[in-house]
Structures are given as C-alpha cells and as structure tokens.
Structure 1
C-alpha cells in the first residue's frame, strides 16, 4: 500500500498537486478548513484567485464605507482573497499597525467568509525584546524560544493571537478558516525575524513552536499555514529556513516591481523586464519545491506602486504567472494619501486609474478567479 501511495504521488503532470498526497498538517482541522484546502488543491494548475489587502476597509479616496471596494468599482466584482494583518494584537491594541480597528477587521473577515471568499492573515508583530516595531531588527528570535528570557512574553502574545483567531466565527459558531502567514519575508533584512538576525535553526524552532502552540496547546484548528519568503537569488535561500512538510501547508513568495518616481518609458520597460525575469525564476523554485513536498503555492504579495504601466496587469503580471499552478496572487493595499510622504500610496486600480482598463482585461481571463466565480464553488463545503 505504501509503495502504491508513493507512486501515485508522482503520476500527475509537472508541478500539479496530487490530491492523494496533499494533506493538511493539522489532523484535527475543521471540516470547513479541510474543504477549503481540498478545493484549493483541486483548483491548482487550473485557476488563480485574485486577492487584495484591506480591500473592504478602505480605498484611495474612502474609508469604512459599507459595500465599497476599489476593485469592485473597476470590475463590478470583489477579489476572491482578502488580506489582513494583525500587527498590534499582541498588545491588545484597538487598531492594527495600519490603523484598521480590530473590531472592524473581525466584521470584514466574517463578511468575506459569508461572501464565499478566502481570508489570509499576516502578523507584523512588534519586537518582543525591545518593544519596537517589526522593523526594529534587534536580535530577538533566540530570546523568545523556550528557555529564552522573553519566552513567557512571547507565549502571552501567541495567546492573544489565538484569542483573536478564535473570535473569527459565524453566529452558528463556525470557526472561519484562515491562511495564516506569520514571520513572512523571512530571508529579508528588514524584520527582526529576518535572515541576518537569527540562524536557520532558530527560525525553524520559532516556526515550529508557534504552529505547535496554536494547534496543539490552544487547539486552533482552522488555520492553513503559509511559509513565505521575499524574492531570492537561489534555491538555497528559499529552502534553508523551510521548517519541513510536517509544519507547512503552502509555500509562497512576496515580490514587488519597483521603479524611480516619474520614471521614463525606458526605465519602466527595463523595470518590467527585470521584474518578469525575477518573478519567473523565483516561481519556478517555489512551485517545484511545493510539488516535491505536495504543498500548495501562492504569490502572497506583489504589485507595482501607483501602477504606472498602463497594461501592467495583462502585459506584465498575468503574462508571467499564468503558467504557474499558484493558488492565488494578492496585491498590497490602497492606503490613499500619505501625508508624511506627500503621495498617494496604492497597488490596486481604482475607478479612473490609468491601468483600470487593463485590469478589466485581467478580470476576463478564464484562468483568473474573482468573487462571483469563486462563490459558485462553495469553498467551505
């Protein structure tokens, strides 16, 4: 039986996940979480869901208006994936690090679930050693592991995360499944859990403790755990901190296109070529490792601030990702005007934005899924 199972796992085409082999790491996962996971597996290689950070909370020219979404106002449909961040929950703050009130976020997450969409959560947690923010790179990982000086403090923070996650439930008591992406962009040097500030083994231990505490001690059984790096130079950089197939459900990548403010046409074209090359090279590694490990994959953060390329959605992004079996692609938030930087900060189109017409073309791509199509799938059944 075991030999048959192993052979079956490799009978499908390149990079496509075999449902026989893909299993959640939580054997006690809720029925809704299992259903979501198996739908994602079945869609792998066929469809790519589109996501947007904080989509229901605010847009470029509005904030906290029921039913609004910059995406919806362009295509008359919502994203299929809604991204949120719980940075600040560790202190029981009223608002997260981007000033979204947690009580509103809870309502948005429940709303997205009832719409038939997926919710994904990251955690820009503060530095537990200094009390500084996520970008305070004072070494902390070793100190919050079992036996460390700040371990008890970190456990208390995980308790608050667990309490919030458990509060995300319907009136009938159904716990809402979440794609949970903690300690993200782990190979970068900007967060205190980043590559320069802890060893590979320390990072793996942090991941292992976090997952096992939430799952086995706090009995959170509605999470799908997402391992995440920033763009990388080679396969070793992506895998050296990978905690193993027993502790992850999905492998993912964050990568953004960048160009100088008021870049020339030539600069934008060069930037696009560079981005496409890096994205394609990185996704090849991500989906290959995911295939080997029988895991899902995703482009969990991407975008081009202010989207200065008119056909960026189909001419750059879709062109590059369309042949990869990623579950979803999510672009970052539409903050609006940033007074400190005297600019409008956004990554998704809004009505009248120069790339809105091309985004409508992306919406019509058969491979892309937005909410109306996703709702018909009944992801949680």
Structure 2
C-alpha cells in the first residue's frame, strides 16, 4: 500500500481528511468547509486515545513477568499495537492535544484553518497542516504566499513531536522552506516528562511564524528587484542540488562533463522548470533572484518524482532532501544578493 494511510477496519474508512482538494490517492474524506478542531479530529479518524502499558514477558516455565521498564502503546478504539519498544520515560501526547496546540496559537482556534490531517501505518504517526491568518505578498500583490504550520508526531517512540512553519506560494503550490539566521522554522519536543506542558506553550511557534513572515516578505520583495542571468540561474541550481563536495568543486570549476548523468538530469529538469513554467514568467520571477530561488523549491514540489505521498512529505516537510536543498538555495540567493556572481567561482 504505497500511500501508507491508516485503514481503520472498525470504521471501514481511511484516516485522512482534506479541504476541497483530493490527495493521497483520492482516499479519505474530502470536506468543503474548514472544520473546527473537533470536527477535523473526527474527519481524519484521529479520535482515539493512545494507551501506554507495560510489556509482559512469558518465561519457559509458563510464568509471566510484568516489566517495569519496557512498555508498549496501543489504540483505544481497535487495540492496534503502535509501538512495542517504548521506554518508561516515554510520555504519550494524545491526538486531541495536538489539535489543542493549533487552537492555542491564535486563541481558541480563531483564524486557524485545518486543511489536512491523517494517520499513517496503524496510526503510529499522525500529521496535521493548518493555515494561519494573513499572507506574504510579493511584488504588486499578485504573487501571494500563504502561511502554514505543519505538525507531526509518533506514538511508537520513534521520533519527537515536530512543528514547522511552512510558507506555500499559491501560484505554484511550492513549499518555501527558508530558515533565517536568527530563527528556525522547526521546533522539536521529545516525548518525555513535561512534553504536554511544553507542547501547550505555543507562543514560541507563533512568534516564530510572525518573525519569519515579516523577514521573508522583506527578503522576497527585495529579491524581485535583483536581476540574474539565465546562465547564473543554472549555476545556482547546480550548486543548490549538489549532492556532495566533490560535485560542488566540479561545478565551481565548470567541469560539467565530469558530473554524474543522474545529477545533470536533475539540473536540466529544474532549469527547464525555471525557464518554461508559467509561474516563472511572472514579473516577480522572470530573470529575478526570487525566480531563481523558486526554481529550486518549485522543482521539488512540482517536477521531481517521488515513490509515494509519504516520500514526498518526508522530502519536502520533514527535513528530507527537498527541505535541505531549498535551504541551500535560500543561502545561495542570500550570498548572491550580497556578492554577485563571485559565489560561483572556486573558493
């Protein structure tokens, strides 16, 4: 099952909902209006509790020992096992608490618009995306970026709670993963004692979103005034997509023939997107540094092929390749703005 969405045999439904747009192979519930947190919890099939219980070890004699340091987690609704190797310090954060986190950001959910949510596997990993009020407007206002917060957490002990601020450019739906020097766009909370209390404190995330919104708006608008040649765009794409130092050295020396075919194909695809996509022919993007940055982020969102929806999610939002390369593009554009084409020369 490539999509890996949880199928709840008790209800006969997939654990996923989306507002208006079909996603994840067309599975799950599509709703027309933005739901409340309580409605979203139910629509996404996340209205279950996660229970932590000690593991029981059966000995050859037939006697059983209840562990005091080895635990497992399971769902309250269908008793599906979510994790069987959970430590004694692991603290469960319930799905409803995840939605409460979003509601607390702007006060009782006012202005929060839940757009997607769902569960993967047996329900051991959940994810939620919510749109925040306001926009980042670039240029004359036609190029608009919406503000999202994405959250994911696991119930099997495999990872932290992660919340990330993720701007999404409406005209091409590409995710702009840009971390500024004085702020990170990701916050992680471990499933240990006090996790629920730290989770409930959403002010850090909201302050983060507002800080990034203001700063990114200023940066993007400035980049629309910085001109860059097509040849320089291609070189910037090469450097942003470079998989290692050896390839980066070849790029800076202009030794393209020595680069791998796979890498050159990726660069060609991203450059073609930069030169031909309708969203790259706008006043804000055609021949501008902002367009060069969007060539990289748009390539990963709209051109590159992924094995499945979960692989794309991992790459673009959960710290995978796309997020890393988008950050490289942001840093390269920042450097180009300051130093010009000299950034492409050998160090």
Question: Quick check: TM above 0.5?
Answer: no
| TM-score with structure 2 setting the length | 0.23
Relative contact order (C-alpha < 8 Å, sep 6+): which is higher? Answer: 1
- The structure with the greater share of residues assigned to strand is 2
| TM-score with structure 1 setting the length | 0.22
